[in-house]
Amino acid sequence: MSQSLTAKYRPQRFDEVAGQETVKAVLSRAALEDRIAPAYLFSGTRGVGKTTLARIFAKAVNCVTAPTAEPCNECVNCRQITQGAAVDVIEIDGASNRGIDDARRLREDIGYAPMECRYKVFIIDEAHMLTKEAFNALLKTLEEPPPNVTFVLATTESHKFPATIVSRCQHFVFKRLPAPRLMDHLRGVLDRESVEYEEAALAIIAKRAAGSVRDSMSLMGQVIALGSGPLRSEDVRSVLGLAGQEIFFELLEAIHAQDPVGVSRVLGQILDQGLDLGFFLRELVAVWRTLFLLKQSGEAAMPLLDLAEEEAAGWMEWAQKLELAHIHAAWQMTLEGQRRVLTSLEPALALELLLVNLAFLPRLIPLENLPATPAAGGSGASGGSGAPGGAAPQGAPSSGGRPVPGGQRTASSTAQSRPAPEQTPKSVSAPAQAPRPAPAQSAQTPQPSSAPQPAMQEPQAQPSAQAEPQPAIPSDEPPPGHPAAAGSEESPQVETPSASQVQDSVSADLTPSVAKQYAPGWDGFLQRYREAGGEDGPIALLRTRGELKNGVLTIFCKSSFHKDQVEESQHWRFIEPLVAEHYGPNVRIEAVSETGEFIRHKELLDDVRSRPLVQGVIEEFDAQFVSCYSVRSSQEPGGPSANGSLEG
């Protein structure tokens, strides 16, 4: 059976190890001067030489020619350690021998002097897997080991080590190899294997290995096993499941044309070829970076990109086709979308959604309103209207019913065709409420000769108050709530979204299934409260009822004790942002106790219905009485102050 490239070309001397110059120098000098520390901690990502250097160090300190800076690899001790047969060099898998009993047996073995070598070396791989009890059992031994005993702990997760263990070790952090250094190492292996290769193929393997020598050797072994002659970039991409340059050019063509069918076709090719989605996204991020630098700096960016001459022309052509703001926004969206795609239950659909977002980005965010260069700490979007001249973007509802970003609606979007009388009470509300945080105004209408009214700032029903008093309208014309008056009002211009609302606009238009919709009213708020983790805190809020009146969300509690539970400071801070998300940012919250403060509901209904003012409003506007509530005022102990709502 043939050996793997990793085992066949494992370094046997310090100077054969790729990278880690500082660690090699320290260990080699320690072996030369015979100044061996009680314990060493090697940490770093996988495949960068931690265990390899530990074995070389064990050979150097136990070589027959010791003290020496390099092992001879000829003596009995060096050969036995290389073969893994030395009785005084013990390699332990921390994942399999992690308990306190294993640590106690290790302490017993430490007490025996070396049998054949100068030093007894314990190499514990994946040492972070040891239990807390095992670490405690080793603590005293690491601090004061017997003579001629040393420990080498190798780990990929040094943060899991107790501080008391780390403080007793010489800690060396192993770094990933840069791509050029890794390519040099691969060239040496291929030359010794007498395999021809393309530089582009080595660059792909080095990039895919992400700085890990062992991973790069394994990947190269897979490609060499293909046995089709020279090592070519096409073979590397085919064997490793990586996208070729033509895939990215086809994707850029679909994005530039805003063609969702073309985007889906490219995604189908990616899935049919079994490409690695994670590495595809990494390469797509690199594509946007390449285009951004070429768009900004032109040929001056070539040294940074390390592109072949034939490739550079194609990328330069695409850099000229796309807008700089589009490239920058796509770069950021792809970078931020990697985790969402890879952690999604449907990664293919998540990737398709990301690519469609990239294609339709210019429609959703007018690029002429974006800065040409990225702003510090932002995505480069400084805001702008949804479409030039206030026109709705393509794909938006033609009725003008698209909500203004930020959860607000313009006042005229819910106004009726005629101004309402000045006597209209506050209790008259619009017949229907939108599920947005800001409810519609009751009877407010714009002046026929004035500009559209500004957007509402508070989600409350307001009387019809204009800048100048308006005369009452004769009663023979349709009332504001009459169906004949509906639909005659023109939709106003949509407000210009701010920079913070641009991303919300993108998500709202292209990812309708991502942002969960909640039912309006108190039931929807309680659902939001439960899903936000409200059940982990006091459950008192789940036994309340709430009503939104005049910009105030009143939470009705069963008793004073119940009210105190709801108003507990930590719990109150938890529900405040949820109320702002569900009802609107300007809604005030009040908790009241029904006991002794609210009169019986039936008596209240009878009292309010009997009032002449309410009866007059019902007759005038053909309204229907919906609900009312009353709170006794401390200033007016003689009677309640009622608030109600009507539907016309």
Res. 261 pLDDT band, cuts 50 70 90: very high
Q: State the CB neighbour count (10 A cutoff) for residue 586.
A: 15
Q: What is the model's pLDDT at position 1?
A: 54
Q: List, in order, residues 6 or more apart from 575 with CB less than 8 Å away.
A: 529, 534, 541, 589
Tell me phi and psi for residue 170, to 5 degrees.
-85, 115
Q: Answer yes or no: is pLDDT of 334 > 80.
A: yes
Tell me what the mean pLDDT of segment 355-369 comes to.
76
Q: Answer yes or no: is pLDDT of 420 > 70.
A: no
Distance from the Cα of residue 332 to its chain's centroid = 12
Alpha-carbon dihedral 422, 427, 432, 433, rounded to 10 degrees: 110
Res. 105 pLDDT band, cuts 50 70 90: confident
Q: What's the whole-number average pLDDT of the chain?
A: 73
Out of 40-49, 229-238, 354-363, 632-641, least confident range? 632-641
Q: Answer yes or no: is pLDDT of 444 > 50.
A: no
Angle between helices 347-359 and 260-272 (to 10 degrees): 150
Q: Considering the domain 5-173, what is its CATH architecture? A: 3-Layer(aba) Sandwich (3.40)
Six-digit token string for 497: 């979204």
Angle at 47 between CA 44 and CA 49, to 5 degrees: 75
Res. 624 pLDDT band, cuts 50 70 90: confident
Pairing between strand 428-429 and 640-647? parallel
Out of 107-121, 132-146, 312-326, 619-633, least confident range? 619-633
Q: What is the model's pLDDT at position 595?
A: 62
Structure confidence by residue, pLDDT tens digits, 156-165: 988 888 888 8
Tell me what the mean pLDDT of segment 417-430 comes to.
41
Distance CA 67, CA 77 (A): 14
Higher pLDDT, 141 or 288: 288
Structure confidence by residue, pLDDT tens digits, 543-577: 778 888 888 888 888 777 777 777 776 677 778 88
Beta-bridge partner residues of 122: 90, 151
CA-nearest of 474, 483, 523, 497 to 382 is 497
Ranges of each domain in the chain: 5-173, 179-240, 245-368, 521-593, 601-647
Pairing between strand 120-125 and 149-155? parallel
The CATH code of domain 521-593 reads 3.30.300.180
Tell me what the mean pLDDT of segment 233-259 comes to.
84
Distance CA 426, CA 646 (A): 10
- Options 2.60.40.10, 1.10.8.60, 1.10.1200.10, 3.40.630.40; CATH for 179-240 is 1.10.8.60
CB contact at 8 A, 152 and 146:
no
Tell me what the mean pLDDT of segment 468-477 comes to.
44
Q: What is the model's pLDDT at position 371?
A: 52
Gyration radius of the chain over CA positions = 36
First to last CA, the chain: 88
Q: Answer yes or no: is pLDDT of 24 > 70.
A: yes
Q: Answer yes or no: is pLDDT of 369 > 80.
A: no
Res. 249 pLDDT band, cuts 50 70 90: confident
Percent of the chain at pLDDT > 70 equals 68
Six-digit token string for 482: 């009459």
Res. 484 pLDDT band, cuts 50 70 90: very low
Q: What is the model's pLDDT at position 644?
A: 54
Structure confidence by residue, pLDDT tens digits, 208-219: 888 899 988 988
Instruction: Look up the pTM and report it.
Output: 0.51
Tell me what the mean pLDDT of segment 493-504 comes to.
47
Three-state DSSP class for residue 499: helix
Three-state DSSP class for residue 247: helix
Q: Answer yes or no: is pLDDT of 429 > 80.
A: no
Tell me what the mean pLDDT of segment 94-104 comes to.
76
Write down the H helix ranges in 194-300: 199-209, 213-224, 233-240, 245-256, 260-272, 277-297
Higher pLDDT, 169 or 408: 169
Res. 79 pLDDT band, cuts 50 70 90: very high
Tell me phi and psi for residue 550, to 5 degrees.
55, 40
CB-side exposure of 100: number of CA atoms within 13 Å? 4
Q: What is the model's pLDDT at position 601?
A: 61
**CATH topology for the 245-368 domain:** Zinc Finger, Delta Prime; domain 3 (1.20.272)
Tell me what the mean pLDDT of segment 584-613 comes to.
72
Residue type, 405: P
Higher pLDDT, 325 or 611: 325
Q: Is 426 exposed, middle or buried (0-12, 13-18, 19+ CB in 10 A)?
A: middle
Sign of CA dihedral 182, 184, 187, 192: negative
